[in-house]
Amino acid sequence: MEYKIHGTTLQTLDLILEHEESVYTESGGMAWMTGNIQMETNTKGGIFKGLARSLAGESMFLTTYTCKGSKALVTFTPESPGSIIPVLLGPNESRICQKDAFMVAEQTVSLEVHFRKKLGAGIFGGEGFILQKLTGPGLAFVEIAGDVRSYELAEGQVLKVDPGHIAMYEPSISYDIARVTGVKNILFSGEGLFLATLTGPGRVWLQSLPLANLAAKIATYIPSKK
Protein backbone atom coordinates (compact mmCIF):
# COMPACT_ATOMS: atom_id res chain seq x y z
CA MET A 1 0.00 0.00 0.00
CA GLU A 2 1.22 3.46 -0.92
CA TYR A 3 0.05 6.73 0.60
CA LYS A 4 0.31 10.44 -0.09
CA ILE A 5 -0.62 13.30 2.26
CA HIS A 6 -1.64 16.52 0.52
CA GLY A 7 -2.18 20.03 1.89
CA THR A 8 -1.13 21.91 4.99
CA THR A 9 -3.84 22.77 7.55
CA LEU A 10 -6.70 21.09 5.62
CA GLN A 11 -4.97 17.90 4.59
CA THR A 12 -6.18 14.92 2.59
CA LEU A 13 -4.85 11.37 2.65
CA ASP A 14 -4.65 9.26 -0.53
CA LEU A 15 -4.28 5.50 -0.10
CA ILE A 16 -3.31 3.58 -3.23
CA LEU A 17 -4.36 -0.04 -2.77
CA GLU A 18 -3.13 -3.02 -4.75
CA HIS A 19 -5.28 -6.07 -5.53
CA GLU A 20 -6.93 -7.49 -2.36
CA GLU A 21 -5.31 -4.93 -0.06
CA SER A 22 -7.70 -3.60 2.60
CA VAL A 23 -7.99 -0.75 5.07
CA TYR A 24 -10.67 0.13 7.60
CA THR A 25 -11.98 3.40 8.96
CA GLU A 26 -14.79 4.74 11.10
CA SER A 27 -18.20 4.98 9.47
CA GLY A 28 -18.31 8.05 7.19
CA GLY A 29 -14.53 8.50 7.15
CA MET A 30 -14.08 8.14 3.37
CA ALA A 31 -14.18 11.28 1.18
CA TRP A 32 -13.86 9.89 -2.38
CA MET A 33 -12.52 6.86 -4.24
CA THR A 34 -11.87 5.47 -7.69
CA GLY A 35 -11.36 1.93 -8.99
CA ASN A 36 -12.99 -1.37 -8.13
CA ILE A 37 -13.51 -1.04 -4.38
CA GLN A 38 -15.60 -3.35 -2.21
CA MET A 39 -17.08 -1.80 0.95
CA GLU A 40 -18.14 -3.79 4.00
CA THR A 41 -19.49 -2.20 7.19
CA ASN A 42 -19.75 -4.05 10.50
CA THR A 43 -18.86 -3.73 14.18
CA LYS A 44 -15.45 -5.42 13.57
CA GLY A 45 -15.08 -7.63 16.63
CA GLY A 46 -18.67 -7.76 17.79
CA ILE A 47 -21.28 -5.53 19.37
CA PHE A 48 -19.40 -5.02 22.65
CA LYS A 49 -16.21 -3.87 20.93
CA GLY A 50 -18.32 -1.55 18.83
CA LEU A 51 -19.91 -0.04 21.93
CA ALA A 52 -16.49 0.34 23.56
CA ARG A 53 -15.17 2.19 20.50
CA SER A 54 -18.13 4.57 20.63
CA LEU A 55 -17.09 5.49 24.19
CA ALA A 56 -13.63 6.34 22.86
CA GLY A 57 -15.01 8.82 20.34
CA GLU A 58 -15.26 6.57 17.25
CA SER A 59 -18.33 5.24 15.47
CA MET A 60 -19.76 1.93 16.58
CA PHE A 61 -19.47 0.61 13.03
CA LEU A 62 -16.29 0.44 10.96
CA THR A 63 -16.07 0.23 7.17
CA THR A 64 -13.50 -1.89 5.31
CA TYR A 65 -12.37 -0.93 1.80
CA THR A 66 -10.87 -3.74 -0.30
CA CYS A 67 -9.32 -3.33 -3.74
CA LYS A 68 -10.88 -5.87 -6.14
CA GLY A 69 -9.08 -4.60 -9.24
CA SER A 70 -5.40 -4.20 -10.00
CA LYS A 71 -5.20 -0.83 -8.22
CA ALA A 72 -7.58 1.65 -6.57
CA LEU A 73 -7.50 5.01 -4.80
CA VAL A 74 -9.35 5.89 -1.59
CA THR A 75 -9.11 9.39 -0.10
CA PHE A 76 -9.78 10.31 3.53
CA THR A 77 -10.10 13.73 5.16
CA PRO A 78 -9.88 14.77 8.84
CA GLU A 79 -12.81 16.20 10.78
CA SER A 80 -11.00 19.43 11.75
CA PRO A 81 -8.04 21.56 10.57
CA GLY A 82 -4.80 19.90 11.54
CA SER A 83 -2.26 17.22 10.67
CA ILE A 84 -2.47 13.64 9.40
CA ILE A 85 0.26 11.54 11.02
CA PRO A 86 1.35 8.10 9.71
CA VAL A 87 2.02 5.61 12.50
CA LEU A 88 4.06 2.55 11.49
CA LEU A 89 3.77 -0.12 14.19
CA GLY A 90 5.79 -3.30 14.65
CA PRO A 91 4.33 -6.52 16.09
CA ASN A 92 2.67 -5.76 19.47
CA GLU A 93 3.90 -2.15 19.28
CA SER A 94 1.28 0.37 20.47
CA ARG A 95 0.39 4.06 20.64
CA ILE A 96 -2.05 5.69 23.06
CA CYS A 97 -4.13 8.39 21.33
CA GLN A 98 -6.69 10.97 22.33
CA LYS A 99 -10.33 10.30 21.56
CA ASP A 100 -11.29 10.82 17.88
CA ALA A 101 -7.66 10.53 16.76
CA PHE A 102 -8.03 7.31 14.74
CA MET A 103 -8.48 7.88 11.01
CA VAL A 104 -7.73 4.71 8.99
CA ALA A 105 -5.50 1.64 9.28
CA GLU A 106 -4.45 -1.61 7.67
CA GLN A 107 -6.42 -4.67 8.70
CA THR A 108 -3.53 -5.98 10.81
CA VAL A 109 -3.72 -2.96 13.16
CA SER A 110 -5.92 -3.37 16.22
CA LEU A 111 -8.06 -0.45 17.45
CA GLU A 112 -9.04 -0.77 21.11
CA VAL A 113 -10.22 1.28 24.04
CA HIS A 114 -7.57 2.35 26.57
CA PHE A 115 -8.50 3.23 30.16
CA ARG A 116 -6.40 5.51 32.32
CA LYS A 117 -5.65 3.67 35.54
CA LYS A 118 -5.00 6.66 37.79
CA LEU A 119 -8.07 8.44 39.15
CA GLY A 120 -6.59 11.94 38.99
CA ALA A 121 -5.41 11.53 35.41
CA GLY A 122 -8.84 10.32 34.39
CA ILE A 123 -10.79 13.12 36.07
CA PHE A 124 -8.51 16.06 35.27
CA GLY A 125 -6.58 14.77 32.25
CA GLY A 126 -8.52 16.64 29.61
CA GLU A 127 -9.84 13.58 27.73
CA GLY A 128 -11.30 11.64 30.64
CA PHE A 129 -10.65 7.99 31.44
CA ILE A 130 -11.20 6.60 27.94
CA LEU A 131 -8.61 6.90 25.17
CA GLN A 132 -7.73 4.91 22.04
CA LYS A 133 -5.01 2.29 21.65
CA LEU A 134 -3.52 1.26 18.31
CA THR A 135 -1.48 -1.94 18.21
CA GLY A 136 0.52 -3.36 15.31
CA PRO A 137 1.81 -4.76 13.15
CA GLY A 138 0.85 -2.43 10.34
CA LEU A 139 0.37 1.15 9.22
CA ALA A 140 -2.26 3.46 10.73
CA PHE A 141 -3.06 7.14 10.36
CA VAL A 142 -4.24 9.52 13.08
CA GLU A 143 -5.64 13.03 12.77
CA ILE A 144 -4.38 15.67 15.19
CA ALA A 145 -5.82 19.18 15.48
CA GLY A 146 -3.41 21.98 14.56
CA ASP A 147 0.32 21.43 14.08
CA VAL A 148 2.23 18.65 15.81
CA ARG A 149 5.40 18.70 17.92
CA SER A 150 7.03 15.49 19.14
CA TYR A 151 9.52 14.98 21.97
CA GLU A 152 11.65 12.00 22.92
CA LEU A 153 11.82 11.88 26.74
CA ALA A 154 14.76 10.21 28.45
CA GLU A 155 14.38 7.93 31.45
CA GLY A 156 12.90 10.01 34.29
CA GLN A 157 12.61 13.19 32.20
CA VAL A 158 9.37 15.07 32.91
CA LEU A 159 7.34 17.21 30.52
CA LYS A 160 4.51 19.30 32.00
CA VAL A 161 1.67 19.95 29.55
CA ASP A 162 -1.76 21.50 29.47
CA PRO A 163 -3.79 18.25 29.18
CA GLY A 164 -5.66 19.34 26.06
CA HIS A 165 -2.41 19.50 24.07
CA ILE A 166 -1.59 15.79 24.47
CA ALA A 167 -2.38 13.99 21.21
CA MET A 168 -0.50 10.69 21.38
CA TYR A 169 2.22 8.93 23.36
CA GLU A 170 4.04 5.63 23.65
CA PRO A 171 2.86 3.20 26.38
CA SER A 172 6.25 3.48 28.12
CA ILE A 173 5.35 7.06 29.07
CA SER A 174 3.98 7.51 32.59
CA TYR A 175 0.97 9.86 32.62
CA ASP A 176 -0.12 11.67 35.78
CA ILE A 177 -1.66 14.97 36.90
CA ALA A 178 -0.05 17.66 39.08
CA ARG A 179 -1.83 20.60 40.70
CA VAL A 180 -0.67 24.09 39.81
CA THR A 181 0.96 25.72 42.85
CA GLY A 182 0.49 29.30 44.01
CA VAL A 183 -2.80 31.13 44.53
CA LYS A 184 -2.10 33.78 41.86
CA ASN A 185 -1.11 31.10 39.36
CA ILE A 186 -4.36 29.24 40.00
CA LEU A 187 -6.56 32.34 39.81
CA PHE A 188 -4.94 34.41 37.07
CA SER A 189 -2.67 32.26 34.86
CA GLY A 190 -5.57 30.93 32.77
CA GLU A 191 -4.01 27.46 32.83
CA GLY A 192 -6.56 25.84 35.15
CA LEU A 193 -5.87 23.91 38.33
CA PHE A 194 -3.93 20.99 36.88
CA LEU A 195 -1.15 20.17 34.44
CA ALA A 196 -0.36 16.78 32.96
CA THR A 197 3.05 15.32 33.79
CA LEU A 198 4.54 12.99 31.21
CA THR A 199 7.55 11.03 32.42
CA GLY A 200 9.95 9.16 30.13
CA PRO A 201 11.27 7.08 28.63
CA GLY A 202 9.33 7.35 25.39
CA ARG A 203 8.00 9.69 22.70
CA VAL A 204 5.04 12.04 22.98
CA TRP A 205 3.16 13.96 20.30
CA LEU A 206 1.59 17.32 21.22
CA GLN A 207 -1.01 19.30 19.29
CA SER A 208 -1.05 23.08 18.93
CA LEU A 209 -4.85 23.40 18.78
CA PRO A 210 -6.97 21.42 21.25
CA LEU A 211 -10.49 21.11 19.83
CA ALA A 212 -11.98 22.30 23.13
CA ASN A 213 -10.05 25.57 22.79
CA LEU A 214 -11.22 26.00 19.19
CA ALA A 215 -14.84 25.31 20.14
CA ALA A 216 -14.67 27.80 23.02
CA LYS A 217 -13.24 30.50 20.72
CA ILE A 218 -15.93 29.92 18.09
CA ALA A 219 -18.62 30.03 20.78
CA THR A 220 -17.70 33.64 21.61
CA TYR A 221 -18.77 34.67 18.10
CA ILE A 222 -22.15 32.92 18.22
CA PRO A 223 -24.93 35.33 19.22
CA SER A 224 -26.76 34.26 22.34
CA LYS A 225 -30.52 33.78 22.18
CA LYS A 226 -32.53 36.28 24.14
**pLDDT one-digit tens code per residue, 31-63:** 999 999 999 988 765 555 555 545 545 566 889
Averaged pLDDT for residues 187-213: 79
Residue 117's pLDDT band (cuts 50, 70, 90)? low
Q: 14: burial class by Cβ within 10 Å (0-12, 13-18, 19+)?
A: middle
**Global pTM?**
0.82
Sign of CA dihedral 64, 68, 69, 70: positive
pLDDT at 58: 55
pLDDT at 116: 63
Domains of the chain: 2-219 (3.60.160.10)
Q: Is 60 left (phi over 0), alpha (psi -120 to 50) or beta?
A: alpha
